[in-house]
Amino acid sequence: MKALSLKEIRTKVEALEREIRLQRSILESIPEPFLILDRDGGFLKVNPKGVELFGYPPEELMQRAWMDVVALEDLSRIREGFEEMGQGKNVRFRTQMISRLGERIPVEFLGTPREDRFFVIVRDLRERFQAEEEFERTRKEAMEKIRERDLYARELQVIRDLYKDKLKEIEVMKEEALLLSYTDDLTGIYNHRFFIQQLTLEVERQKRYASPLSLLMIDIDYFKHYNDTNGHLAGDQVLKAIAFLIQRGVRQTDIVARYGGEEKPLRLRKGLEEMWRIRIFQTRAPCPIRI
């Protein structure tokens, strides 16, 4: 074999140095941690991003293997990955590596076999995990807000329903109160106040339209004697029965009212007597009736 001249040796050394510089520049230009491992997982080359991620000085990192910087619970998965790369397969899995300061760093391991070496890209997942955690936290907060909103909406609807029910109850009570204010408690027909109101309205209507107006006053003979003899309870039953009979005997447009007893004489306005034509259930106008 011909010996190389000094010039040829120098040329080969310069070429080798250029290749080394090129390889170094390529490693430094890779934006993610990049490793070259031997088949046992020992570190052969690590780019600056990898050194920064692991936190070890390059010379100290070169004395270690990948198995030394991963979480113990992930060792079985790492071994499976190396076995697959040893069979010529590309691998991709998530694991946790331990930095020099003892920090657990979630990473994604992407390995590619090349002859007797493994090329590995290690992706730091901390920001992704933080984003996922932030997203999950935001999602939970949003779900909680939605739950609170739905709960508030349901409670508000319950309150609205209760309010509507109370309004209905109030309306019913108003109607009942109005009915009670116009109704005689004992007989169930209209009372003295309603009688006066209706009589006034009918007289005013009669003045305007000159229509006939009939008023029938009914008195129960010897009622006081019956009351004194049989008691007020029996007298009340008589009043109820007579009111019922009269109510059944008139038209729906007629008005039957209880004016009062002998102690409450009828006081009519001056001049009304001339306007009333007394008829018994023969007019179209309402007929207030005194019991």
Contact status, residue 70 vs residue 94, Cβ threshold 8 Å: no
Q: Of 129, 160, 184, at which residue does a domain stop?
A: 129
Q: Which residue has the tokens 């730091």?
A: 124
* Six token digits for residue 268: 């009519």
Question: Is residue 141 in some structural domain?
Answer: no
Residue 185 belongs to a domain? no
What residues have CB less than 8 Å from 187, skipping those under 6 apart?
239, 240, 243, 244, 258, 291
User: Residue 93 has what pLDDT?
Assistant: 92
Whether 140 is covered by a domain: the verdict is: no
Contacts of 270 (CB under 8 A, 6+ apart): none
For 62-87, what is the mean pLDDT?
90
In angstroms, the Cα distances linking 5 to 10, 14, 15 are 9, 14, 15
Contact 96, 105 (CB under 8 A): yes
Alpha-helical runs (H) found in the chain: 6-29, 48-54, 58-61, 75-86, 126-182, 192-209, 223-230, 232-249, 272-275
Range(s) of the domain holding residue 50: 31-129
77 domain-assigned: yes
CATH number at residue 95: 3.30.450.20
Question: In this predicted model, what pLDDT tens digit does every residue of 222-264 receive, in sequence order?
Answer: 888 888 888 888 888 988 898 898 888 888 888 888 877 544 4
User: pLDDT tens digits, residue range 21-53?
Assistant: 656 665 566 678 888 899 888 998 888 888 888
